[in-house]
Amino acid sequence: NAGVTQTPKFRVLKTGQSMTLLCAQDMNHEYMYWYRQDPGMGLRLIHYSVGEGTTAKGEVPDGYNVSRLKKQNFLLGLESAAPSQTSVYFCASSYSTRAYEQYFGPGTRLTVT
Partner 1 sequence: AQKVTQAQTEISVVEKEDVTLDCVYETRDTTYYLFWYKQPPSGELVFLIRRNSFDEQNEISGRYSWNFQKSTSSFNFTITASQVVDSAVYFCALRLLHSGGGADGLTFGKGTHLIIQP
Applying CB under 8 A, which residues contact partner 1? 31, 33, 35, 40-45, 48, 50, 56-59, 88, 90, 92, 98-107
State the nearest-atom distance from the C-beta of 16 to partner 1, in Å: 28
Give residue 65's identity as a one-letter amino acid code. N
- Name the residue nearer to partner 1 (CB basis): 3 or 16: 3
Q: How many CA atoms lie within 13 A of 48 on its CB side?
A: 18
- Name the residue nearer to partner 1 (CB basis): 10 or 14: 10
Give residue 91's identity as a one-letter amino acid code. C
Bridge-based pairing state of the strands 4-7 and 103-104: unpaired
Cβ(25)–Cβ(70) below 8 Å: no
State the nearest-atom distance from the C-beta of 65 to partner 1, in Å: 16
